[in-house]
Amino acid sequence: MRFNPKADISGGRVNDAGRGGGGGGGGMRIPLPGGTRAGGGIGGLIIIILFVVLTQCMGGGLPGGSGGGGTSSQGQSQPEGVDTGDERYANCKTGADANEDADCARVAVALSLEQYWAATLPEQAGTEFTPATINTFAGAVSTGCGQASSQVGPFYCPPDQQIYLDTTFFADVLQGQLGGQGGDFVEPYVLGHEYGHHIQNLMGTMGQVRTQKGADSDAVRLELQADCYAGMWTRDASDGDGILADLDQGDIAEALDSAKAVGDDRIQQKSGQGVDPEGWTHGSSEQRMAWFTRGYEEGTLEACDTFSASSL
């Protein structure tokens, strides 16, 4: 994966919150994986974490959450811990910077996602687009959804319409603990998925979620649709006319491997448990790869309508 070296990426919305403490901050606490000895192993704990993130960090659109799906939080104050004046990304100006620095690559991906959805959402859905900000942190961060740790993995928080990630997650958890192969396009795929949740929030799709666990649940449909939206963006990003100048089939394979690694069935197997579809919140490895591929091949919101699909 290479970026157009002459592209202006200075408008990419990425902030850094620095290193946060593990305690304090108020709000909900997300359980931390405690290694293979704790509670059925890392895989079992990650399943719990994914469920908590889905029900709490996306709580604005789920039963029991505060407010309905798709509510706008424009005008809210910046979440605690997010430093909009941080210098981590200050030198990210061009695609050439993105080719040399992982932080600048993140800025370029953020700008590409914003530009794609700013054009696609009004055109295909007639919905006004509001950009999301990507916030990086280390250790822990306090968000509009509560306190989050790095082990949770990247997530989208509807109340403040922002994405959060500890960038060590990809090497430490996705590769080290879940067995993903890694690669340059792994983080962009994950960010594309989380940005997909932002699009769902803007469209009010989160308000359709009623059932939160199970192979055919609304929660799984929500996650698979976000994978499909990531595929839509990837299709556009790979045409060679934008910020991403060189995205090949090897990069797509990396994204598919990442989708496979975080499938509910794969995580359950990694934990030493049997595969139990009744506990799924994100869908199987096969489903996640299939819906990403569908978005990539068809490139439309209509094709990504998992809520109307008779079979996932």
DSSP 129-182: ----EEEEEESEEEETTEEEEGGG-SEEEGGGTEEEE-TTHIIIIIITTT----
Say if strands 244-246 and 2-3 run parallel, antiparallel, or are unpaired: antiparallel
Query: Which positions ≥6 away from 249 have C-beta within 8 Å?
Result: none
Higher pLDDT, 247 or 203: 203
Provide the pLDDT for residue 130.
97
Provide the pLDDT for residue 285.
82
Q: pTM for the full model?
A: 0.78
Least confident stretch, 10-14, 102-106, 254-258: 254-258
The single residue listed with the structure tokens 């500890």 is 166
Residue 67 has pLDDT above 50, yes or no: no
Determine what percent of the chain is predicted with pLDDT higher than 70.
Answer: 67
Q: Do residues 186 and 193 touch, judged by C-beta distance below 8 A? A: no
State the chain's mean pLDDT as an integer.
Answer: 75
Angle value at C-alpha 205, between 200 and 210, nearest 5 degrees: 130
Provide the pLDDT for residue 268.
63
Maximal C-alpha separation, the chain:
50
What is the per-residue pLDDT across 115-150, written as a single tens digit (0 to 9) for each?
999 999 999 999 999 999 999 998 889 999 988 887
DSSP H helices, the chain, are 41-52, 95-100, 102-125, 169, 186-203, 218-237, 249-261, 264-270, 285-298
Instruction: Give the integer Cα–Cα distance in Å for 5 and 96.
Output: 4
Report the amino acid identity of residue 58. M
Least confident stretch, 31-45, 104-118, 129-143: 31-45
Residue 192 has pLDDT above 90, yes or no: yes
Provide mean pLDDT across the span 100-104.
94
Q: Do residues 44 and 115 touch, judged by C-beta distance below 8 A? A: no
Provide mean pLDDT across the span 273-288.
76
Least confident stretch, 22-26, 138-142, 298-302: 22-26
Q: Do residues 234 and 256 touch, judged by C-beta distance below 8 A? A: no
Provide the pLDDT for residue 250.
84
Of the candidates 280, 282, 256, 114, the one whose C-alpha atom is nearest the C-alpha of residue 199 is 114
Residue 57 has pLDDT above 80, yes or no: no
Residue 60 has pLDDT above 60, yes or no: no
The single residue listed with the structure tokens 């809210």 is 76
Instruction: Give the integer Cα–Cα distance in Å for 31 and 65.
Output: 19
Q: What does residue 19 show for φ and ψ, rounded to 5 degrees?
A: -100, 125
Higher pLDDT, 51 or 244: 244
Provide the pLDDT for residue 42.
31
Higher pLDDT, 228 or 254: 228
